[in-house]
Amino acid sequence: MGWNKHVRQIQKEANVFYLVCKHPRTKWYAKLVAACSAGYLFSPIQLIPSFIPVIGFMDDVLVLFLGAKLLYRITPPDVLKECRGLAETAAIRRKEEIGTRASVVASVVIATLWLVAAVASAVIVVYVIH
């Protein structure tokens, strides 16, 4: 698995956690676990400071991993399945939007280059004739 796939998977899982927290059938203690896990990452007070090279981020990864495992266990399976489906749909929609934006940008760039080439050739022709 390449880095891009890992990053997309992590983004999708983060979206699943967000959707689980927003779901009306999620219990309060599951929301608390998710909030505490995310809160630890942004807290200025940590067990091992993040500025220490490798070890500083290992406690963050451990808290996220344990929080994710616990959240998966205490969330009802049907809620988790529904949220995964919504996250997958959102990922596909984002990918389509990126493709649409890329095609628009490419069209504008091609049109601009064509216009610049046409004007430049006209200027060169006029300049050479006179």
| pLDDT tens digits, one per residue of 3-57 | 778 777 777 888 888 888 889 999 999 989 988 888 887 888 777 877 777 787 8
Contact 56, 107 (CB under 8 A): no
The C-alpha atoms of residue 22 and residue 87 are separated, in whole angstroms, by: 13
The count of residues in the chain is: 130
pLDDT of residue 83 exceeding 70, the answer is yes
Amino acid 81: pLDDT: 92
Contact 48, 56 (CB under 8 A): yes
Amino acid 119: pLDDT: 85
Amino acid 1: pLDDT: 65
Residue of 103, 80, 97, 107 lying closest to 13 (CA atoms): 80
Which residues make Cβ contacts (< 8 Å) with residue 18, sequence separation at least 6? none
- Put simply, whether the predicted model's pTM sits higher than 0.85 gets the answer no
Provide the percentage of residues in the chain whose pLDDT is more than 90.
10
The C-alpha atoms of residue 123 and residue 47 are separated, in whole angstroms, by: 68
